[in-house]
Amino acid sequence: MTITLEVPCTVTLEIGTNGTVTVEDIKVTGNASFVREKDTVLTYTIIPDSGYEIYSVLYNGENVTAFVSGGTYTAPALTGNATLTVLFASSSHVHEWEDDYTVDKEPTCTKEGSKSIHCKGCDEVKNVTPISAKGHTFGEWETVTSPTCTDSGSEKRVCSVCGFTETRNVDPTGHEWEDDFTVDKAATCTADGSKSIHCKHCDAVKDSTVIPALGHAWDSGVVIEQATATESWQIKYTCTRCGEVKYVTSPPTSSPKTGDESHMALWIGLMCVSGAALAALLLTGRKRKTN
C-alpha cells in the first residue's frame, strides 16, 4: 500500500517599514512565516502608517498592487510555498526619475523580459517596456543518424544558452554507381554466369546481364589404346578449365579377309615361292655347263 503525505505550504511575509499586514487576525511587521495546508485561501489586510500609503504589493514576485481593494488583497489558493512582499511610501513623496531604463526581468531565448524607468527615492516605476526574447544561440549541426542510399538520417544542434535541442531530417544520399560491371557469378563450361553494376556504398545492383556458358576447352587428347587391323583407337580428351573427361573411339585401320579371297591369296603366295625356286635351279645349271 502506498501512502501519500500532503506537504504543507510555507507562507513568507516581507513587510516594509511604515505599515503592517494582518492575516487571520495576526498582525505582522517586518518579516514572518507560517505554514498552511495546500489549497488554503488567505486574505491580507494592508494598513499603512499615518502619512504613508501602499506603494507596491508583490505576490511570488508578481506585482499585484492593482488587485488591492480597500487595503485588502486576497491571494490565490496555495499550491506551494508563497511569498508576499509589501512596501510603503510617504504620501507626500515626489518621484525623482532615473534617466536610463533598468532591466526588471531579463529576457530568455523564448520569453520576453521587461525594463522601466525607476524612481530614485522609492520603488515606483514608469514606462514599463517589453524586451524581445533573445532567440536561441545554436552551435553546429551534429549527426545523430547517418543517411543511407535509401533511408533518411537526422541531425541536431543545441542552444548554448538554454540547452534547447533542435533536430532535422537529412535526405537519403541516393546510389552512387560504379563505372564497370562486377562479375556476380562466374560462368562455367556448362552453366551461365552473371554480372551487374554495383552501388559503391550499399548492396544494390542494376543492369544485371547474363554471361553465357564458356563451353569445354579440350586438350589435344591422349591415346589410351593404339588401333590395329582389328582393334579400335581409344583417345582420352580432358577439359583444361573444369577437368571434365571424354573418350573418342575410332574404327580399326583395316578389315580381315574371309572365304575364297583368303584361299586365292594363299595360292598366289605359293606360286610366287615356287617360281623363285625354279629360277634359282636354272641359273645354277648354266654355271656348271659353262665350266
pLDDT digit string (tens) for 5-60? 678 999 999 999 889 999 999 999 999 999 999 999 999 999 999 888 898 999 99
pLDDT tens digit string along 79-124? 999 999 999 888 777 888 999 999 999 999 999 999 999 988 777 8
Residue range 250-269: mean pLDDT, rounded: 50
Contact 188, 217 (CB under 8 A): no
- Find the helix or strand (DSSP H, E) in which 287 lies: helix 260-290
Which one has a higher pLDDT value, 284 or 173?
A: 173
Task: Please tell me the predicted confidence (pLDDT) of residue 263.
Answer: 43
Q: How confident is the model at residue 273 (pLDDT cuts 50, 70, 90)?
A: very low
Reported confidence tier of residue 250, pLDDT bands at 50, 70, 90: confident
Q: CA-CA distance, 248 to 235, in Å (whole number)? A: 5
Burial (CB < 10 A; 0-12, 13-18, 19+), residue 264, is: exposed
Rounded Cα distance, 245 and 237, in Å: 6
